[in-house]
Amino acid sequence: MSMGRGCAESPLRCSSQSTRGWAPDRGMPFGCFDLFAHPFSFLLPTKSDPGKALPWKTSKAAREWPVSRGVAVGLQLARALRYCHDEFMPGYRLLHRDIKPDNIGCFADGRIVLADFGLCKLWKVDSAASDDERRKLTGLTGSLRYMAPEVALQEPYNHKAEVFSFTSLLYHFLSHQKPFSWMTPDTFLADACRNGKRPLLSGKWPGDVQALMAAGWSSDSRARPEFAKVVVALEEAIGRPQSLAEVLERSKAPSSRSSAQ
């Protein structure tokens, strides 16, 4: 098994409104919900979007982001996932289930795109059950390096698995290093999934961001925050921006600050 490649599963259409394919003018695959309006332009690309969204991991600029830019980009992604989990459809959560660098695109203006919903799953919220209820879904879905322990171990899981995956991606944004990069697939399962070993967090990062990441990487999914709380924590870390335009503006750090941060 590869740490970096997605595990096989038949693509799942989340609804009749869902499509999946290639956007040649953007250079990356995408999943696009054509028939409903959503408030966040960075959630999904549409054919009216100007410019080209390039995969985040191929962007040279992304490899030189200062911490402030990494946090601001993490906030965009957290808002998108909050929308999927809490606002997409009454009574349901939309689980992406393949959160990894390959599925994050960057526009030149600083917006990011959460792409490729080919493995997504609609999760019906049961008002009579605990919000922490875990269900038996297909395990090993996504990319192992960004996978929550319960998913990698093929145990029942819930929407909090995506908080773990988000935390691994936020670590990548801030450190410019792949999470768990020193582990083989076998050691990832043994050390990260069964024994709770995690990458070290830099003392140069904001303390509240470190605390958020420690909680997001918890082995106990019940201890991981909801994306609504993730959004609030990241907003506070960069001064509570009121709009996407403010997030983008605060993510533009002068090149002279790149090495300092």
d(CA 13, CA 118): 7
Assess whether 186 carries a catalytic annotation: no
In sequence order, the 6+-apart residues with CB closer than 8 A to the CB of 257 are 66, 68
Please return the burial class of 73, using the count of CB atoms within 10 Å of its CB with bins 0-12, 13-18 and 19+.
buried
Which residue in 86, 98, 102, 186 is the catalytic one?
98
Residues known to be catalytic: 98
